[in-house]
Each structure stands twice: as structure tokens, then as C-alpha cells.
Amino acid sequence: MVYFQLTRGERYVIGRRRATGKSLREIGRCLGRSVSTISREVQRNRCPHDGRYRVDKAHSRAMSKRSSTRKKSQFSEQEWLGMQTLLRRKWSPQQISGRRRLCGTRPISHETIYRHVRRDRRVGGELWRHLRVMSKVGRKKRGSPATRGRLVGKRHISERPASVQGRRHFGHFEGDTVIGSDGRHCILTLVERKTRYLVIKKLSARTKEQASAALHEAIAELNGRVKTITLDNGTEFHGYQDVEQRSGIRFYFATPYHSWERGTNENTNGLIRQYLPKGSCMRHITQADCDHIAKELNSRPRELLGFNTPAEMLRRS
């Protein structure tokens, strides 16, 4: 039987359900996991000083344990040299792995060979140049269930009123985060579907606390004109219920891996990349910089708006 490690999203479900008094059996049924899996997770990764289960600390503790228990390479330098020779002969990692199994040699997975090639590349090696395709880490396999941003109770985009899809009324926004090259500093973008009016907020970390605070701030600035927000499935938006309760705004979530369901936001993020190119670090980007970029784009004429600007369309709404 194949076992899959608990994800951060599942740990958020465990934390929220425990906070509402749900039993471990009910939580397991909700996640499609055995009650023993949920019990072990809570026992192993709860905070030792007070016994409480805190999601972020539990996930960090689990990742640390997993990293420390990984086995060191069982292959000698001579064996790696032999596999490198085959790579230079244009053999794929799958071919090397399969041939070793066929010949009764010590087996090795193709993923292990890919990891070796990536490590070699990071230190300036050339092995990767001999591969026809360099596999991507973490790519979602075809047919596998969507696990990104799983959180019980999220309102799916299909529940959104038809008038939102038709862009007939002002006040319906789409949101996402755009990450910088350091993997930490990023921006939150909110764009209105009818007018394309944009708000940008700087985040120093891609966390639900910072994203929720930025959403509160953006909603306050728009002074009661926000009716709905449709978001991406990133875990940074798992604090949406607090924002929803305090503001009365209804949140919806697109289908995982269906970025086209938030096409307005995706297109706008592409425009923002003219100012913040891919690969650039956002560490030194300030809120003033974000406001300047938003002002520039809100003052840019759009063909789909009859060459009016988003700011002009906002004033007329």
C-alpha cells in the first residue's frame, strides 16, 4: 500500500478541526486518512511545552524530522562514475535505472539520478547538458488528485454569482501573490474584474498572517466597494475566514491548477512583470514602490476599456 506524507494543507485542516472540538476519527474521515495517522501526527508534532497542536510549527517539525532521517547515498564513487559515463552517452536516468534492474545490479531510482544531476549542476557541472529533458521537481503527475491548498469549507468559484462572470457590476476582485527570487518576499495583487483597477500590497513573507493583513488593508482602502474576492489556492490565503467575518465580503477559490479561471488577475500579474521581471528579488521593494506600479497601470489606457484607464472607469462606477 502506498503511503503519502501529510501535506501542510492537511495539517491546517487538523488544526482547525481540533480547534472546533472535532474528534480524531472525524478529522481522519474528512481527510480520507486513518485515525491512527491523525493520532500519530498530533502526538509527534504538537508543541512539547503546552501540548497544543500549532500548524506551522507542526509542519516545520515534520519537515525537519524527515530531512534528518533521509539515508545517505549507498553508492560508491566508482558506481557514480559509471552512471555518469552512461549519462554522457546520452542515456536517460530511466534507462540507467531500468538497465541496472535488468542486469541484477544494485537498483537505483531515476529520481535519485536526477537529484545527483541537479547537485552537479549547482556546483557548475555539465551532466545536465547530456539530458534530453531535465525533469521538474514537484511536477504534478497526470491523474493524481489535486492537493494544492486543500482546506475544508472553501467556497468554490462555481458558487460565484453569474453576474460576476458577466462583469456587469463593479466590486468583484481577483487576487494572487507574485513571489520574488528569494522565495520569501512577494506582493499581493487584487484586480477588479470590470474596470481592471489594481491594488498591490507588499508582503515580507508569504504567510497567511501577512496575506490576511494585506487583504484587510486593501479592503479598507477601497472603502466598502469590494463585494467578492476570488483567490488562488495558495496556503497564504488560509486565513480568509477571518477577513470574511470581519469585512462581510464573500471569498471564492479557483480550481487548483486552473489559473485561467482567474484570467484577469493572471494577465495583470503579467503586466506587473514589466516593472518586476521574473527572477528579480523583491526584498528591497517597498509599499511606495507597489503604489507607484499600481498607479502607473491604473493610469494606462486599455483597448478593452475603449482606451479609458482603470482609474477613470473606477470613478464612473
The per-residue pLDDT for range 24-65, each reduced to its tens digit, is 999 888 888 888 999 999 888 888 777 788 888 888 888 777
Place of cell 476519527: 25
What are the CA-CA distances from residue 254 to residues 158, 162, 178, 263, 280 (Å)? 8, 15, 16, 11, 27
Among the ranges given (24-38, 51-65, 161-175, 193-207), the one the predictor scored with the smallest mean pLDDT: 51-65
For 236-253, the pLDDT digits (tens) are 999 999 999 999 999 999
Predicted confidence at residue 146, as pLDDT, reads: 54
Reported confidence tier of residue 135, pLDDT bands at 50, 70, 90 = low
Q: Roughly how many angstroms between the first and final C-alpha of the chain, as a whole number?
A: 57
* The pLDDT of residue 214 is above 80: yes
Sheet strands (E) in 137-284: 172-179, 186-192, 198-203, 228-231, 250-253
Pairing of strands 198-203, 186-192: antiparallel
State mean pLDDT over 209-233.
94
Q: To the nearest whole percent, how much of the chain has pLDDT over 70?
A: 91
For 28-38, the pLDDT digits (tens) are 888 888 889 99
What strands lie across the sheet with 250-253, from one edge to the other?
198-203, 186-192, 172-179, 228-231, 250-253
Q: Which has more confidence, 120 or 192?
A: 192
Mean pLDDT, the chain, integer: 87
143 Rama sector, left if φ>0, alpha if ψ -120 to 50, beta otherwise: left
Contact 164, 193 (CB under 8 A): yes
d(CA 117, CA 129) in angstroms, rounded, equals 10
Q: Which has more confidence, 166 or 74?
A: 166
* The pLDDT of residue 148 is above 70: no
Predicted confidence at residue 73, as pLDDT, reads: 55
